[in-house]
Amino acid sequence: MPDFNPVLSKEEIEKAVAELAQQISIDYHNREVVIIGVLKGAFIFLADLVRYLSIPVQIDFVRLSSYGCNTETSGSICLTKELEIDITGREVLVVEDIIDTGLSLEFLLEHLKSKEPKSVRLCTLIDKRERRDRQFIIDYVGRIVEQGFLVGYGLDYAEQYRHLPAIYDLKL
Ligand code: IMP
Ligand code: MG
């Protein structure tokens, strides 16, 4: 049986999400924004975040695939679900569950920029720094975590544990 070491409680997540939403609502006041969630991991975070926003938004999803059934990134990223909203000339906010090496985000940013949006900003619930390989400005960060393999609140290990309401460091 793996060990689950608590990293963020349900209450801590709720506070982080509300704070992010408040800042985003201020920054995008009187602007139209398209929120792009990165599936699958961001589905719970995005669902909570948008309910705290006080600005009107449009919502779309992409799906990137970089993990198989293990904790090592395979290095090859593919887009397995494309956007449905046209983002040309639009303000875009990408919502991620966690940024680890940054490889998948680098791939996604290139993909989005080819569609010529007016602006692209990044929001992640967790900025996991230890293995970062690509540098970007992350405009909105919920919590910085140095290391570990996190599960819960959308984050999975081999498709398990996404449903947990809190976030844990999984020790196999
Ligand atoms: P990156 O390309 O290394 O930044 O990682 C991209 C994706 O890998 C994230 O969006 C997550 O879906 C997944 N991932 C990275 N670290 C973790 C983790 O600690 N737990 C679960 N999924 C993770
Ligand atoms: Mg993800």
Residue 139: give its domain's CATH number.
Answer: 3.40.50.2020
Q: Does the beta carbon of 20 lie inside 6 Å of ligand 1?
A: no
Total number of domains constituting the chain: 1
Burial class (CB in 10 A: 0-12, 13-18, 19+), 142: buried
Q: Which of 122, 146, 157, 154 is nearest to 7 (CA)?
A: 146
Smallest CA-to-CA distance from 111 within 123, 101, 120, 124 is with 120
Ligand 1 proximity of 104 Cβ (cutoff 6 Å): yes
What is residue 77's predicted lDDT score, i.e. its pLDDT? Answer: 86
Two tokens at 24? 């985003």
Output the residue whose Cα is nearest ligand 1's atom 22: 155
Cβ–ligand 1 distance for 152 under 6 Å, the answer: no
Residue 85 alpha carbon to ligand 1 centre in Å = 25
Report how far ligand 2's centroid is from the alpha carbon of 83 (Å): 16
CB-count burial class (<10 Å; 0-12, 13-18, 19+) for 56: exposed
Predicted pLDDT at 68: 40
Q: What is the pLDDT of residue 67?
A: 55
Which active-site residues does the annotation give? 100
Whether 7 is in the pocket of ligand 1, judged by its Cβ within 6 Å, is no
CA dihedral 124, 87, 82, 103 (to 10 degrees): -40
CA of 42 to the centre of ligand 2 (A): 6
- Domain carrying residue 13: 3-171
pLDDT < 70 stretches in the chain: 67-75
Q: Which pLDDT score is estimated for 146?
A: 92
